[in-house]
Structure 1
Amino acid sequence: MEAMPLPSQADATEVPGPTTVLTRGPSGGAPSSSRSITQTVNGSHHFKINGYSLAKGMGIGKYITSETFTVGGYEWAVYFYPDGKNVEDNSLYVSVFIALASEGTDVRALFELTLLDQSGKGKHKVHSHFDRALESGPYTLKYRGSMWGYKRFFKRAVLETSDYIKDDTLALTCTVGVVVSSTQGQKLYSIPVPEPNIGLHFAELLENGLRSDITFEVDGESFAAHKLVLAARSPVFKAQFFGAMREKDSEVIHVKDIEPPVFKAMLYFMYRDALPEDCELSGAASPTTCSVMAQHLLAAADRYGLDRLRMICESKLCEEVNVETVATTLALAEQHHSSQLKAVCLKFVAANLAAVIQSDGFEHLRESCPSLQCELLKAVAGVEDDSEMEVPVVVNVSKKTPLDAPAMDGSDVNGRRIRPRT
Structure 2
Amino acid sequence: MRKRKKSTMDDSKDSASKSVSETVNGSHQFTIKGYSLAKGMGPGKCIASDIFTVGGYDWAVYFYPDGKNPEDTAMYVSVFIALASEGTDVRALFELTLVDQSGKGKHKVHSHFDRALESGPYTLKYRGSMWGYKRFYRRTTLESSDYIKDDCLIMNCTVGVVRTRLEGPKQCSIHVLPSDMGQNLKALLESEVGCDITFQVGDEAFKAHKLILAARSPVFRAQFFGLVGDPNIDKVVVKDVEPSVFKVMLLFYFLSEFEE
What TM-score do the two structures reach when normalised by structure 2?
Answer: 0.60
Alignment-derived partner of residue 106 in structure 2: 123
Match of 2:165 among 182, 190, 209: 182
Please tell me whether residue 144 in structure 1 is matched to residue 127 in structure 2.
yes
Distance, in Å, in 1 between the alignment partners of 2:87 and 2:172 is 38
Looking at structure 2, the residues matched to 30 and 90 of structure 1 have their Cα atoms a distance apart, in angstroms, of 61
Please say if 1:34 is aligned against 2:39.
no
Q: How far apart are 1:188 and its partner, in Å?
A: 5.8
Equivalent residue runs for 1:11-22 within 5 Å: none
Letter in 1 for 2:158: T
Matches of residues 321-400 of structure 1 in structure 2 within 5 Å? none
1:46 aligns to 2:11 (yes or no): no
Deviation at 1:28, TM superposition (A): 2.0
Report the AA paired with residue 145 of structure 2. Answer: S
- Could you tell me which runs of 5 or more consecutive residues in structure 1 were left unpaired when the two chains were aligned: 1-25, 191-422
> 2:76, 2:163 → 1: CA distance?
35
The C-alpha deviation readout for 1:54-79, integer Å capped at 9, x for no partner, is 00011111100000111111000000
1:89 aligned onto 2:72: yes
Amino acid across the alignment from 1:91: A
1: CA distance between counterparts of 2:172 and 2:43? 63
The 2-side partners of 1:188 and 1:144 are apart by 39
* Residue 31 of structure 1: how far off its partner (Å): 2.1
Letter of the structure 2 residue corresponding to residue 141 of structure 1: L
- Where 2:37 maps in the other structure, the secondary structure is helix
Give ranges in structure 2 of 5+ residues lacking alignment: 1-8, 174-260
Percent sequence identity over matched residues? Answer: 75
Structure with a larger share of its residues in helix: 1
Cα distance in 2 for partners of 1:40, 1:178 equals 5
Distance 1:71 1:90, change over 3 A: closer
Question: Which residue does the alignment assign to 2:41?
Answer: 58
Across the two proteins, how many residue pairs are aligned to each other? 166
Distance, in Å, in 1 between the alignment partners of 2:116 and 2:93 is 11
- Shift of residue 29 of structure 1? 4.8
Residue 336 (structure 1) aligns with: none
Match of 1:107 in 2: 90
Which structure's residues are more often strand, by fraction? 2
Q: Distance in 2 between matches of 1:177 and 1:59?
A: 31
Mapped partners of 1:57, 1:188: distance in 2: 63
Deviation at 1:36, TM superposition (A): 0.9
Provide the alpha-carbon RMSD of the alignment.
2.1
TM-score of the two chains, using structure 1 as the length reference: 0.38
Cα deviation, 1:178-221, whole Å, max 9, x if unaligned, reads 1110011113689xxxxxxxxxxxxxxxxxxxxxxxxxxxxxxx
| Mapped partners of 2:78, 2:171: distance in 1 | 54
Could you list the per-position Cα deviations for residues 276-302 of structure 1 after superposition, in whole angstroms to 9, with x for gaps in the alignment? xxxxxxxxxxxxxxxxxxxxxxxxxxx
Q: Which one-letter code corresponds to 1:121 in the other structure?
A: K
Matched, 1:98 2:81: yes
In structure 2, how many angstroms separate the alpha carbons of the residues matched to 1:188 and 1:50? 55
**Structure of higher CA gyration radius:** 2
CA contact (8 A) 2:20 2:164 kept: yes
What is the rounded CA distance, in whole Å, between the counterparts of 1:90 and 1:143 in structure 2? 25
Q: 2:61 matched to which residue of 1?
A: 78
